[in-house]
Amino acid sequence: MKSTLTGIIVAMQEELEIILQQLEQPQTVERAGMHFHVGLFAGKPVVAVICGVGKVNAAACTQLLISDFRVTQIINIGIAGGLGPGILPGDIVIGDSLVQHDMDVTALGLAPGQIFRLNTFDFKSDPLLLGLAQAASAHITAHNSYTGRIVSGDQFIACPEKSQWLQKEFSALACEMESASIAHVCYLNQLPFVCIRSISDNANNGAHMDFEQFMPIAVENSSILLRHMIPSC
């Protein structure tokens, strides 16, 4: 069986801490202002890192994981805004399809989100990692889990009209600022990936959660997902 080295990209220091607390044989390497933590998690080799906010940070981080650390797959965990009317704070969205919603070359006759001269519209998660994420999410019993499209852009979406447009235009369940660029780099490198998001708010139905109230939920969700996914990776 081919050995695996999993890159874990997280959104928050608190999510990284749950990995560092259990990381064996830890080493930290700095690249491009980011700290990559190498070691064994649940008995499996991993490289864990906070990528920073936005698509450029996420893309640079992903390529470093691939080029410098030679990871063989990537799991991305973070927070997002919910777009579906039934998706509530604390719920999980597992991205089976990722799109950059702020890519706009409609003046050239292409659909919103389509990247010029790229032979795909969306970036699809690896079926094996997707299945592991879905199985792990079954252990999160206090909230619902969904599988569907996540859209990313260099915009903080706080407008109900924009949220509704993203849902209608892309059939998206969640929006944030990094996942699709991580997926794009993995696609270019032909590397398996999956992106998973804990929902922090939903502009469509007016449900909002204070960040300090939400953060422990997101961290707990991340802990459960990683604890159940990594041993099978």
**Is 161 an annotated catalytic residue?**
no
The Cα–Cα gap between 189 and 163 comes to: 31
DSSP helix, strand, coil percent of the chain (3-state; round to 5):
35, 30, 35
102, 122, 201, 220: the catalytic one is 201
14, 15, 96, 169: the catalytic one is 15
**Cβ distance 143 to 88 under 8 Å?**
yes
Residues in contact with 182: Cβ distance below 8 Å, sequence separation at least 6, in sequence order: 9, 51, 58, 59, 61, 62, 74, 76, 98, 193, 195
The Cα–Cα gap between 150 and 193 comes to: 14
Q: What's the one-letter identity of residue 189?
A: N
Closest by Cα among 56, 104, 82 to 176 = 82
**Cβ distance 8 to 46 under 8 Å?**
yes
Q: What's the one-letter identity of residue 42?
A: A
**Is 15 an annotated catalytic residue?**
yes
Q: Please give the positions annotated as active site.
A: 15, 201
